[in-house]
Amino acid sequence: MPDFHAILNAFLLALTPEFFIITVWATTLGIIIGMMPGLTATMGLALLTTLTFQMESFQAITALLGLYVGAIYGGSRTAIILNMPGTPASAATSLDGYPLARQSRGREALGLATIGSLLGTLVGVTLLLFTAPVLADYALNFGSYEFFWLALFGIVVSGRLTAPDDPIKGWIAGFLGLILAMVGQEQVFAYPRYSYGVQDLTGGISLIPAMVGAFGFVEILSSISDSKTPEIAKNKGRLLPHGRDILKNAGTIGRSGVAGTLMGLIPGVGEDIGAWVSYAIAKRLSRAKELFGKGSTEGLIAAETGNSAAVPGAIIPVLTLAIPGSAPSAVLLAALVVHGVQPGPLIMLTSADMVYGVVAAITLSAIVMTVVGVLLTTPLLMMLRIPRERLLPIIFVLCVVGSFAIASRPFDIWTMLAFGVLGFVLRQMKFPMAPLVLGLVLGEILDKNFRRGLILSEGSIEPFFTRPVSAVLAFATLLSIFMLVLPWLKRARREV
């Protein structure tokens, strides 16, 4: 059970003027970043991480969590008003938010999205509070064999869910990330692999420059290649929804909150899949299915509740397993390590206060997000009128400075540029980026635990399949692959 005395102390600390001010400016910055197409939550976290090196650890984590919560919510602004999601997590929001805005119900849609985000975050935080300690205790039974299969399962599931139309592309992107993670000194004998005599490559590929390139610079290239300029839609009507509207959708909010949190738990799936799954469940159970995609308030609430609930859901495996649940949480994992926090099964023993501090910081960020989102709706929407030609150079400078500031290595700038070009090419070919980044994050975990497991078993692979948890994870991984391959085999048999 959670330590409620420690939780109270965490909330009291988060409410002190110093931490409250950090939460306010970080959440507001997150909203601004989220509502700017091209400034994703992942890129915002990557850039902010480079600016928090001199901050105390909990101050830095508070700022990053505030930006994370705000950015996922902020993406709904452009999704509703411009039909242009500010973040991938808000793509489902645009399906019903933009039609509502075109019906001169833009302010109503913005208000529903705000309340849905608040309630979704609170549902996710509640599950985080009660799930993280239990999962941490259970994770103490995990060994090298289990962590190997967990990393591989994350790649397989992420590839399948982030590219539902063509999962093979998702798997290719994920395994490409695993291959890139092998660059540098291996974990056992420190032998350099795939460095080809380049000294900078012996230390491996730095995660944050790679993420800044894959999610930041690639957006610059995509914006340059797309000359279409969206038009501002109308923004009229009531901002805050009536209480009866919230009560009428209470079931949708509860289901979407739980579904979003569960999607966040799956490594590499993230907030966008949480939104889509929540939206699909709401549509299936709705009595007005015909309104979905044409301006359904139920669909809008489901999408926003789902993507916001996935934020604390994605943080659960970060804290307890040191495995990110989404691309932004991968940056958060790197930031935790940089600031001296060691996530993993022992975190409830070594850093329990940090876990409860994360709960308090997310909760306070959700409240600040709601207040700022309501009060500054009109001023924030004015920022959408900034010409893209002026915005893109600023983003590029931030990408370069953020990549260089980590280790003051020019090579990190080249890494950022290379991943930006690679990401742009993959995006043009409809490859998802989330599995690529997840593969880069999980590659070290997979490689280290595979080699360690072989050493412990004296070269035998039997324990990878015979230990109970390993057997379950191996079966789940192979079943996921088989369920995809089976239709192809049947189709090939019919053709023959």
- The pTM of this model reads 0.69
Residue 6 pLDDT: 78
**Best mean pLDDT range from 112-116, 134-138, 279-283, 435-439:** 112-116
Q: What is the pLDDT of residues 181-217, one digit of tens each?
A: 888 887 777 788 888 878 888 888 877 788 778 766 8
Q: How far is CA 151 from the centre of its chain?
A: 17
Q: Given a cut of 60, is residue 167 above it in pLDDT?
A: yes
Residue 143, both tokens: 């060994």
Contact 243, 67 (CB under 8 A): no
Tell me the mean pLDDT in the region 343-362.
81
- The DSSP string of 337-371 is HHTT---STTHHHH-HHHHHHHHHHHHHHHHHHHH
Residue 284 pLDDT: 79
Cα atoms in the 13 Å half-sphere on the side-chain side of 140:
10
- Identify the band that residue 21 occupies on the pLDDT scale cut at 50, 70 and 90: very high
Q: Given a cut of 80, is residue 401 above it in pLDDT?
A: no
Residue 24 pLDDT: 92
Tell me whether strands 192-193 and 184-185 are parallel, antiparallel or unpaired: antiparallel
- Identify the band that residue 26 occupies on the pLDDT scale cut at 50, 70 and 90: very high
Q: What is the pLDDT of residues 110-136, one digit of tens each?
A: 888 888 899 999 998 888 888 777 766
- Identify the band that residue 406 occupies on the pLDDT scale cut at 50, 70 and 90: low
Q: Given a cut of 90, is residue 367 above it in pLDDT?
A: yes
Residue 262, both tokens: 């569960």
Percentage with pLDDT > 70 across the chain: 86
Neighbours of 50 (CB within 10 A): 20
* Mean pLDDT over each residue of the chain, to the nearest integer: 80
185 by DSSP, 3-state: which?
Answer: strand
Residue 284, both tokens: 């299936």
Q: Given a cut of 60, is residue 235 above it in pLDDT?
A: no
Spatial neighbors of 403 by CB under 8 A, at least 6 apart, are: 50, 208, 209, 212, 213, 412, 413, 415, 416
CA–CA dist 89, 71 (Å, integer): 10
